[in-house]
């Protein structure tokens, strides 16, 4: 039997056990029990002390794509860390990004404001090809989102740390502010690393053309929120759709709540679907038990 310890304050352990059982009949799925027997941890933001005493641990699977909080722990054992990247996550992220981008391109926030005033307001639509959509981050979630936006007719540009080649997307890995200057709708899909933390500061926001929109589907700490609030108030950033924040849940009284040019969603752009992700989790466990590397292994040096 392979002992797996599960922890998540948001995910359903019953659904996960049900999804894994047909793939790994020998799995001993646990929510507690002796730490010294645990070989695999499947968790999202585990509490302090969870790894204590896990002398037989061989693999940690992060219940999601973002691993910044897991890697920042000082008690993470020196074992392979794998993150999830199933097709369901990709589809959810791509759908959320396309919704957010299209909401800005089709003036949804302006129409919502007019509706609240009881006003019939006509705004002549622009062709989607006239919107320069810049996707920052072209990894396993960013690349599919960029491809979808390009297929919808947007003028899509992509920026990443390493060169990428995506059909229909103009990719570059050069100077960030130069890239931002050619972006009407900026989509953040970068992982949170020491290099990306706070990268969308006042200077980066100022590099965007006046009237640009910002979409954040990654991590709140990528953005200097005070600078973004000032840019939204001044009109330099016309609108923003935000799914991630520096502090979550977003505190009561935060300026974002009262801003009519901001759309807030509670960090749900992409979630893990057990029935789809279980296939990768099971394969990672099998590989590690054979002495091989798991799927989607994280490089701690890069932070993703």
| Residue environment code for 68-101, b if the CB has 16+ CB neighbours within 10 A, otherwise e | bebbeeeeeeebbbbbbbbebbbebbbebbbebb
Rg (CA), the chain: 21
Tell me the C-alpha distance between 187 and 287, whole Å. Answer: 35
For residue 4, give both structure tokens.
């797996």
Catalytic option among 219, 286, 290, 296: 219
Catalytic option among 267, 287, 290, 302: 267
Tokens 């977003």: give the residue: 250
**132-136 vs 155-159, strand pairing mode:** parallel
For residue 44, give both structure tokens.
């999202």
Angle between helix 142-151 and helix 87-105 axes, rounded to 10 deg? 50
Tell me the C-alpha distance between 204 and 209, whole Å. Answer: 10
Strand order in the sheet with 212-216: 170-172, 155-159, 132-136, 185-188, 212-216, 237-242, 262-264
Annotation says 219 is catalytic? yes
Annotation says 104 is catalytic? no
CB 65, CB 270: distance < 8 Å? yes
Please identify every residue annotated as catalytic.
219, 267
């Amino acid at each position: 039997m392979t002992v797996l310890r599960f922890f998540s304050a948001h995910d359903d352990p019953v659904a996960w056990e049900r999804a894994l059982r047909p793939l790994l009949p020998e799995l001993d799925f646990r929510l507690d029990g002796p730490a010294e027997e645990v070989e695999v941890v499947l968790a999202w933001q585990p509490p302090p002390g969870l790894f204590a005493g896990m002398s037989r641990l061989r693999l940690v699977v992060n219940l999601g794509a973002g691993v910044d909080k897991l890697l920042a722990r000082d008690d993470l054992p020196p074992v392979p860390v794998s993150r999830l990247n199933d097709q369901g996550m990709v589809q959810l992220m791509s759908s959320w990004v396309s919704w957010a981008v299209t909401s800005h391109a089709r003036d949804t926030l302006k129409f919502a404001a007019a509706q609240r005033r009881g006003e019939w307001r006509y705004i002549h639509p622009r062709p989607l090809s006239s919107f320069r959509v810049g996707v920052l981050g072209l990894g396993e979630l960013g690349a599919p989102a960029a491809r979808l936006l390009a297929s919808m007719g947007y003028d899509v540009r992509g920026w990443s740390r390493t060169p990428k080649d995506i059909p229909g997307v103009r990719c570059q890995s050069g100077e960030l502010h130069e890239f931002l200057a050619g972006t009407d709708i900026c989509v953040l899909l970068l992982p949170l690393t020491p290099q990306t933390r706070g990268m969308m500061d006042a200077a980066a926001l100022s590099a965007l053309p006046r009237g640009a929109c910002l979409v954040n589907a990654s991590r709140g700490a990528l953005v200097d929120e005070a600078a973004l609030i000032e840019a939204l108030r001044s009109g330099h950033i016309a609108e923003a759709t935000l799914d991630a924040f520096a502090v979550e849940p977003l505190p009561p009284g935060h300026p974002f709540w009262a801003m009519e040019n901001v759309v807030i969603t509670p960090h749900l752009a992409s979630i893990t679907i057990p029935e789809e992700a279980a296939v990768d989790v099971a394969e990672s466990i099998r590989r590690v038990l054979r002495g091989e590397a798991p799927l989607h292994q994280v490089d701690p040096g890069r932070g993703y």
